[in-house]
Structure 1
Amino acid sequence: MTSIKTKKILSKAGYYIFVSLLAFAMCYPLIWMLCSSFKETNTIFATATSLIPDPFVLKNYPNGWKGFGGISFATFFKNSGFVTVLSTIGIVASSTVTAYGFARIRFPGSKIWFSCMLLSMMIPFQVLMVPQYMMFNLFGWTGTYLPLIVPSFFINGFGIFLTVQFIKGIPRDLDEAAKIDGCSTYTIFLRIIVPLIVPAMVTNGIFAFIGKWDDFMSALLYLNKPQQYTLALALKLFCDPSSTSDWGAMFAMAILSLIPVFLIFAFFQKYLVEGISASGLKG
């Protein structure tokens, strides 16, 4: 009996040690960046193998927050927040409505359109980049936030697929009972389906928020004024190949830019796990 208990303890200890080492290896780049944000810029790569700042400095944070060209990082945070929040609302709203149509409403060609939606998830952004730019330029939208926000209100393949799977796990008997009570299709959607798919909507919103918050290429394509730049684009400007780059300030601002993502994940982690597990197991 003692031998069996000893084996179980050793097995658990080995498991936790392995998982801890794996977690450290995955988090090491983030830890290194955090430690580097407290180092002198000229010592960051000279002491790249050491995580301990020597000397320990705090000036990278105020220096980075000043930004460049008279534009502070508060402006870039505001720009990213504006684009991300509106885009996330658009993605969640459009995905929820479209998913309800695919999951509950029978209409001609529904399977074909659903297949087309799935195919849209497989098209790389690089394929659409040039035609989209030409279209938005024809609309006169270049140099504005419209190309970054408006498409979010129309289609998001992943969000639609995730929500469809969740809705399919809801018994149709609820719909039938609501129809007997005189509820219309819109009432069933708003009063029955939407409250039940909150985990899927939150999960979709988290992925949409992270994707838009980190979006660099779209901002690079369509924004041409520094006061319009988002965080992802502003961080790149700390790297100057023709001069000395302020790596300490860039790492400091990169750490600050991760705070909203961590907060979103921390507050909505329960919904995230529930939404992914339910969408994967139901239907």
Structure 2
Amino acid sequence: MMKTETVKSVDSIESREPSKAGKLAKWWVYHIIVGAFAILMLYPVIWLIMSSFKPSSSIFITAKSLIPDPWVWENYSQGWQGIGGIGFGIFIKNTAVLVVLTMIGQVVSSALIAFGFARLQFFGRGFWFALMMVTLMLPYEVVMIPQYIIFAKLDWLNSIKPLVIPAYFGHPFFIFLLVQFIRTIPRELDEAATIDGCGTFKIFYKIILPLITPALATAAIFSFYWTWDSLLGPVLYLNSPSKYTVSMALNMFLSNETVSNWGAMFAMSVVSLIPVFIIFFMFQRYVVEGISTSGLKG
């Protein structure tokens, strides 16, 4: 009798468990939906790549046709030749220099400032942190004119100084991100390092800095993206075509007086996306790890 009841209970449990066919059906439905959304999100990029192989005169006329007919490979060679005798490689080099200098400045300075807010005790710490957060809410257009006047008086126009030097005074978003990350690190580590004779800077360099590597990588990646895509700042401060960035160079392919070379512009847009994709696929795990653990405290 007991064996019969046990068999029935096991059968009832198995009947309630989803069958393999049901699990397989859910797997297919999930991946089909996710795949459809992925195609929808990637379609503009695919359209950009395909349009870079079309003649400029037929890109928007045959916009509904994704496959180029004919394939125009010369768009890439024409685009790489650049504008006004300046090759597109010069624009990429200018952007790379700007990105590296800005990224180093923002990450290093933001890490130092965040360490001060998270670990050091000083008068008015809460007020200064709140003031820093307020600057995060200010749109760039609010400070654009005052900054331009200051940099003009310093004779910094037509150089990358206005774009690079402010980066060495911290970035509000990165400071907030790193403060939240540092707060997750137990203070007992600081106390143990102090007992061993470490000073404040050595605690930052030896203890805190290695532990906030994911957050630093996240800040570096965002800094790379924002600086690489930036257009308004370079347009304001750079006047010589030889100092133009990629975003400004792409705009030069469009003309109000003559025929715009859309094919070359789309081709160089694809080229300019290559570093972005490389950085994303190489360091995407740091972005997820840095953001997911920044809001935790314990």
TM-score by length of 1: 0.97
Aligned residues: 283
The worse-fitting range, judged by mean Cα deviation, of 4-13 and 75-84 is 4-13
Is 1:158 paired with 2:170?
A: no
2:184 alignment counterpart: 169
Please point out which of 253, 257, 263 is paired with 1:238.
Answer: 253
Is 1:275 paired with 2:287?
A: no
Counterparts of 1:74 and 1:54, CA distance in 2: 28
Counterparts of 1:243 and 1:18, CA distance in 2: 45
Q: Give the Å deviation of 1:49.
A: 1.1
Q: C-alpha offsets along residues 239-266 of structure 1, whole Å, 9 cap, x if unaligned?
A: 1122211111000101111111111112
Q: C-alpha offsets along residues 79-101 of structure 1, whole Å, 9 cap, x if unaligned?
A: 00111100000000010000000
**Change in CA separation of 1:266 and 1:3 when aligned onto 2, cut-off 3 Å:** closer
Q: C-alpha offsets along residues 181-204 of structure 1, whole Å, 9 cap, x if unaligned?
A: 111111110011101111110100
2:131 is aligned with what amino acid?
C
2:265 is aligned with what amino acid?
M
The worse-fitting range, judged by mean Cα deviation, of 259-268 and 118-127 is 259-268
- DSSP-derived class of the 1:121 partner: helix
Q: C-alpha offsets along residues 63-82 of structure 1, whole Å, 9 cap, x if unaligned?
A: 00001111000110010011
- DSSP-derived class of the 1:52 partner: coil
Counterparts of 1:110 and 1:157, CA distance in 2: 15
Q: Which runs of structure 2 are paired with 1:210-229 in the superposition (5 Å)? A: 210-229=225-244
**Change in CA separation of 1:282 and 1:242 when aligned onto 2, cut-off 3 Å:** farther
User: Contact (CA 8 Å) 2:75, 2:267: kept in 1 or not?
Assistant: yes
Counterparts of 1:211 and 1:143, CA distance in 2: 20
Q: Give the Å deviation of 1:31.
A: 0.8
Q: Alignment RMSD, CA only?
A: 1.3
Counterparts of 1:211 and 1:282, CA distance in 2: 28
Is 1:121 paired with 2:113?
A: no
Counterparts of 1:267 and 1:9, CA distance in 2: 32
1:204 is aligned with what amino acid?
A
2:266 alignment counterpart: 251
**Change in CA separation of 1:12 and 1:281 when aligned onto 2, cut-off 3 Å:** farther
Is 1:7 paired with 2:18?
A: no
**Change in CA separation of 1:244 and 1:7 when aligned onto 2, cut-off 3 Å:** same
Please point out which of 259, 263, 280 is paired with 1:265.
Answer: 280
Counterparts of 1:110 and 1:3, CA distance in 2: 56
Counterparts of 2:187 and 2:66, CA distance in 1: 56
- DSSP-derived class of the 1:79 partner: helix
* Percent identity of equivalent pairs: 51
The worse-fitting range, judged by mean Cα deviation, of 85-94 and 50-59 is 50-59
Q: C-alpha offsets along residues 129-149 of structure 1, whole Å, 9 cap, x if unaligned?
A: 111111111111111110010
Q: Which runs of structure 2 are paired with 1:1-283 in the superposition (5 Å)? A: 4-282=19-297
Q: Give the Å deviation of 1:3.
A: 6.9
**Change in CA separation of 1:111 and 1:44 when aligned onto 2, cut-off 3 Å:** same
Counterparts of 2:189 and 2:206, CA distance in 1: 11
